[in-house]
Amino acid sequence: MRYKTLISLSAQLVDHDGSLVASEGLVRKLDGLACHTDSVLNYAEVDFAEECALRGGYPRLVVDAKGKLAIAVEVDSEQKLSRKQLSALRADVEGQLTDGIGAGCFDALSVATGVAVEVRFPLKSKCTQTEGSAWRAKATTEKGNQQRIAAAKKIVAKMDTAPPKKVAAKKAPVKKPTVKKPAVKKAAAVAPAGKKDRPNLKKLFRLLDKPERDQPYDQIKAELDACGNDLSMVGDKEYPYGNFNDPKLLRLLLKAGLPPETIDVKGNSLLIQAAGNPKCVELLLKQGVDVNRVCDSYYASTALIRAAFLGKRKSVEVLLQHGADPTIPDASGDLAKDIVDKYSRDRQAIIDLLS
């Protein structure tokens, strides 16, 4: 006889910019998606794991009767766990799903669709113990994952191409007719183009959000063509977070009108994103961007601080040549010379430049 412990945490789907993805169809398609290659038990820090012969521990996505998404983990044991042991196991699993294996166990979904799975906060978890064995991966689990992700990819693609929803205008209250003097008829005012008039950029942003975004260049170019090659209306905190390593890609986006001073979803400027590649840095500086801009990001750094942190000597040189100030500190009070990558072969040369 074995005893099964089920621990589940409320979850949600989020887009590349952190916004919630509200799609019942997408949630249903992901029911059963499993992390079949790794188990929370491989990282568990509970002293009774061997004593109780714990097995299972593979995170899965499950959908309840109300259509709510959760991450479930099943663990079975040779003996019934005490209340104290259940509490310890629950706390360990919660910690991993919020800041450990849970951060990457559904990466395949994120890579394919740009949509990620996150634990919902405030944290809501359930823990039950019954007789039975825990779910474990089978030979068909990987195939099932592939089918679920393929179905999810189609749904996300439809979401990306759907036109933005129009907000219905409120009807003005009916007023009693009044007699007015004849007035000179004025020409109808033309409303300025706004975000609601622009093409849907979600698919483009998802392509740009991928870690290997410099590789699908042709896809990005094709999507830009489909969007009319006009990125002039992209506002702050819309552009995906990442680093520019390909001047060809940056040149393409700037040519399409991407504002050079745009900041990404995490508050970094394009210049900070480009700090690892001196050619990209030069491209943006030619656009007249502020070389000393301190962005409203977590680190509140400059492009020079970022280049030093990455250990990119050439980028540091280019930035200094264009007036970058090495005396500007980051949010922690560190200067660029204080955080030069210690593994960079140009570390000392960079420190000398910044000094």
pLDDT in tens, the chain (355 residues): 999 999 999 999 988 777 889 899 999 999 999 998 889 998 888 999 999 999 999 999 999 888 999 999 999 999 999 999 999 999 999 988 886 555 567 888 887 888 888 888 888 899 999 999 999 988 899 999 999 999 998 998 888 776 655 545 555 555 555 544 444 444 444 434 444 456 678 778 877 876 565 557 787 888 888 888 889 888 888 888 877 888 888 999 999 999 999 998 888 899 999 999 999 999 999 999 999 999 877 678 899 999 999 999 999 999 999 999 999 998 889 999 999 998 889 999 999 999 8
C-beta separation of 318 from 281 below 8 A: yes
**pTM of structure:** 0.56
**CATH number, domain with residue 219:** 1.25.40.20
Residue 46 located in a structural domain: yes
Q: Are residues 132 and 223 in the same domain?
A: no
Domain count, the chain: 2
Q: Are residues 276 and 145 in the same domain?
A: no
Q: Are residues 341 and 236 in the same domain?
A: yes
Domain boundary among 158, 191, 224: 158
Domain boundary among 99, 134, 158: 158
C-beta separation of 109 from 30 below 8 A: yes
Matching residue, tokens 């990209």: 280
Range of the domain at 325: 199-354
Residue 182 located in a structural domain: no
Domain boundary among 158, 176, 191: 158
- Structure tokens, 321: 């040549």
In Å, how far are 97, 134, 250 from 91, measured between CA atoms? 10, 18, 45
Q: Are residues 153 and 205 in the same domain?
A: no
- Structure tokens, 64: 């309840």
From the list 106, 119, 129, 145, the residue with the least C-alpha distance to 54 is 129
Q: Are residues 112 and 61 in the same domain?
A: yes
Residue 94 located in a structural domain: yes
